[in-house]
Amino acid sequence: MIRFDCHAHVYERLLPVSGARYVPSATAPLADWLSRQRAAGLSGGVIVQVSFLGTDNSQLVDALAGLDRRLFSGIAVTALDVDESALQALAAAGVTGLRWNLVQGADLPDPSDPVVQRLAAMLRALGMHLEIQLESPKLAGYLPALGQLAVPVVIDHLGLPRATAEREPWIDALESLPSRERVFVKISAPYRAERDPRAHIDRLLTLLPGDRFVWGSDWPHTRHESRAEYRGLLAEAADRIDDAAAARTLYGLAVA
């Protein structure tokens, strides 16, 4: 059963940072997202900082301010050397994790770097997690190193599949891990994969228990608006997983 939309972007103003790879032509109002949630029979969800706003999380914090903390959470983007006080302020505002958007050749943070280790320690102290968006071939090589951080890691958008499920690089890497206890997967954005990801979900469910998955709409589906739908993969996920445990563990969400 799916109760929450654990991946959506909300922005009332288009204020891109310098060098943004993509800037949408329209806003994504909070009211619109909430309306779609209700129509889908969902109880709440997670607002993820959109990449074109960089580390300016002010719109995310503003959106969370008017929402029930039992049903809504946020994922922020910060510099690796973020001040502890700034991270604590985000946590107080309802942020429960940080996103590393590492696609399109972005530099991969070195988990052994003291700066990254310091960040991981702060995340652990605050009960936060990391969300990783990275193409499958690169994720395959990066996944084992992420274990050094000792924080829950959410693999965004099913790991952006590139190959058949039987030969998907990052899933092969997952299977080879000595421990998978901190790995979670977000079932979302099938249109961002190069293949239909349903077979990948099948394989992932042989490697991880069903309570290690969450579903996300990826609303407003930037760059894929014409062929995406809010409920994409929702029916597929609803029949296979139960998001109650993962939503509570990662985001502190629970339906009364």
Return d(Cα 221, Cα 227) in angstroms, integer.
9
Instruction: Report the DSSP beta bridge partners of residue 130.
Output: 98, 153
For residue range 55-65, what is the model confidence (pLDDT) as tens digits?
Answer: 999 999 999 99
pLDDT at 140: 96
- What confidence score (pLDDT) does residue 231 get? 84
pLDDT of residue 191: 74
If you average pLDDT over residues 61-86, what whole number do you get? 98
Q: Within 13 Å and on the Cβ side, how many CA atoms surround 38?
A: 6
How many domains does one find in the chain? 1
Query: Considering only CA atoms, which of 162, 224, 161 is closest in space to residue 187?
Result: 161
Specify whether the backbone of 158 is left (phi greater than 0), alpha (psi in -120 to 50) or beta: left
* pLDDT higher than threshold 70 for residue 225: no
In percent, the amount of the chain with pLDDT more than 70 equals 96
Q: How far apart are CA 25 and CA 48, in angstroms?
A: 19
pLDDT (mean) for 18-26:
73
In a domain, 256, yes or no: no
**Chain mean pLDDT for the chain:** 92
The answer for residues whose C-beta is within 8 angstroms of residue 102's C-beta and 6 or more apart is 108, 132, 133, 134, 138, 142
Q: What's the mean pLDDT in 212-241?
A: 84
Q: Are 219 and 246 in contact (CB under 8 A)?
A: no
**Has residue 223 got a pLDDT over 80?**
no
pLDDT tens for each residue of 93-149: 999 999 999 998 899 999 999 999 999 999 999 999 999 999 999 999 999 999 999
Q: Strand, coil or helix: what is 130?
A: strand
pLDDT at 16: 67
Query: Residues 167-205: pLDDT tens digits?
Result: 899 999 999 999 999 999 999 988 777 778 888 999 999
Residue 197 included in any domain: yes
Mean pLDDT of 222-245: 82
Model pLDDT, residue 17: 66
The reported pLDDT for the residue numbered 236 is 78
- Contact at 8 Å (CB) between 180 and 208? yes
Distance CA 193, CA 157 (A): 8
At position 190, the amino acid (one-letter code) is P
Instruction: List the single range of 9-18, 83-92, 238-247 with lowest mean pLDDT.
Output: 9-18
Q: What does the pLDDT read at residue 198? A: 86
Q: Which residues contact 116 (CB under 8 A, 6 or more apart)?
A: 80, 109, 110, 149
Provide the residue range defining the domain that includes 83.
4-251
Non-local (6+) Cβ contacts of 129 within 8 A are 96, 97, 98, 123, 151, 152, 153, 154, 184, 250
For the stretch 80-92, pLDDT in tens is: 999 999 999 999 9
Q: Which residues contact 31 (CB under 8 A, 6 or more apart)?
A: none
Query: Would 214 be classed as within a structural domain?
Result: yes
Taking phi over 0 as left and psi of -120 to 50 as alpha, with beta for the rest, 219 belongs to beta
What CATH code is carried by the domain that includes residue 21?
3.20.20.140
3-state secondary structure of 227: coil
